[in-house]
């Protein structure tokens, strides 16, 4: 769980799970190396970047999938990738850089083959997400947004995945692993580090992070239909409604009910 610590300025602050209260900077990530100008982006990738830009009426709307395509090739958003996107979209490199540094799905440091995100937002946290993060951080020897020396795993604390009904959840390369605990999470990362293929608890086989990034750029890997789109916990409300013959009110019925409730409140207040 997160805990309080007195900071250098004398005030108290929250230290997130997985961070050593005695040394909050113990897991400070390596600085971003912007001096590397080598790039793996070739003519084929440039063509694909142009194709993505052409899909949108306003070409700069393509910036997000273009950044994902760069990551699928480079393993991160590189200075070269930013430069090429800026040229294609006819915007400044600062425009592209501003977007790439705003969203946490864009990585400025080389990402691992598998991005393991542990949801540590409130519900997952109290259901064990903090404990999972702590165990994985210890097992892997890395903190938030850091990558193991073998380049296999990047560990990340992530915000609510809208999968609270399966809390606590992990995401591996954006595929769900539901109802996890420290032991199951450790088993997962051990398999990944040993090259054992794993599947999401919802059925989809989990690809490498670069392959997943290509899908996010808009290039299908034909795995979208592997596994169900919603499990029993997500469908519980629908099932209960069907069993009890509950129906959503029409807009008029809802408006009438609201007006009646307000009128009743008014009568109550007048007494």
Q: Give the one residue of 62, 66, 85, 167 binding ligand FES; rule: CB under 6 A.
A: 167
Cβ proximity to ligand FES, 124 vs 192, nearer residue: 124
Asked if 204 touches ligand FES (CB under 6 A), the answer is no
CA dist 227 and 209 (Å) reads 19
Asked if 45 touches ligand FES (CB under 6 A), the answer is no
Cβ proximity to ligand FES, 150 vs 159, nearer residue: 159
Cα dihedral 100→225→196→30 (10° resolution): 10
Asked if 161 touches ligand FES (CB under 6 A), the answer is yes
Cα dihedral 15→16→19→23 (10° resolution): -10
Per DSSP, the three-state class of 179 is coil
Give which of 186, 109, 173 is closest to 147, Cα–Cα: 109
CA dist 73 and 187 (Å) reads 29
CB of 39 to ligand FES, least distance (A): 36
CB of 234 to ligand FES, least distance (A): 11
CB of 121 to ligand FES, least distance (A): 4
Asked if 169 touches ligand FES (CB under 6 A), the answer is yes
CB of 181 to ligand FES, least distance (A): 14
CB of 123 to ligand FES, least distance (A): 4
**Which of the residues 101 through 160 are near ligand FES (CB under 6 A)?**
119, 121, 123-124, 160
For residue 263, what is the enclosing H or E element? helix 251-270
Contacts of residue 73, Cβ cutoff 8 Å, sequence gap at least 6 = 40, 41, 45, 81, 210
Binding site residues, ligand FES, CB under 6 A: 119, 121, 123-124, 160-161, 163-164, 167, 169
């Amino acid at each position: 769980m997160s805990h309080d610590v007195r900071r250098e300025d004398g005030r108290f602050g929250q230290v997130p799970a997985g961070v050593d209260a005695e040394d909050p900077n113990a897991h400070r990530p390596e600085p971003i190396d912007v001096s590397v100008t080598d790039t793996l982006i070739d003519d084929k990738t440039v063509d694909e970047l142009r194709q993505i830009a052409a899909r949108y009426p306003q070409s700069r709307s393509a910036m997000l999938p273009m950044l994902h395509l760069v990551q699928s090739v480079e393993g991160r958003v590189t200075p070269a990738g930013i430069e090429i996107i800026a040229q294609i979209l006819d915007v400044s490199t600062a425009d592209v850089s501003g977007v790439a540094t705003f969203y946490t799905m864009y990585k400025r440091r080389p990402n691992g083959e598998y991005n393991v995100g542990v949801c540590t937002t409130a519900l997952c946290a109290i259901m064990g997400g903090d404990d999972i993060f702590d165990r994985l951080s210890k097992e892997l020897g890395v903190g938030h947004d850091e990558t193991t020396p073998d380049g296999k795993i990047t560990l990340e604390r992530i915000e609510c995945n809208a999968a609270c009904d399966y809390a606590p959840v992990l995401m591996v390369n954006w595929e769900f692993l539901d109802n996890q605990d420290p032991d199951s999470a450790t088993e997962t990362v051990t398999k990944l580090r040993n090259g054992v293929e794993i599947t999401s608890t919802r059925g989809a086989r989990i690809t490498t992070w670069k392959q997943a990034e290509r899908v996010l750029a808009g290039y299908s890997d034909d795995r979208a239909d592997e596994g169900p789109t919603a499990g029993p916990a997500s469908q519980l409300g629908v099932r209960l409604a069907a069993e009890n013959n509950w129906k959503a009110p029409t807009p008029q019925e809802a408006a009438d009910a609201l007006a009646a409730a307000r009128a009743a409140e008014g009568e109550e207040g007048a007494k």
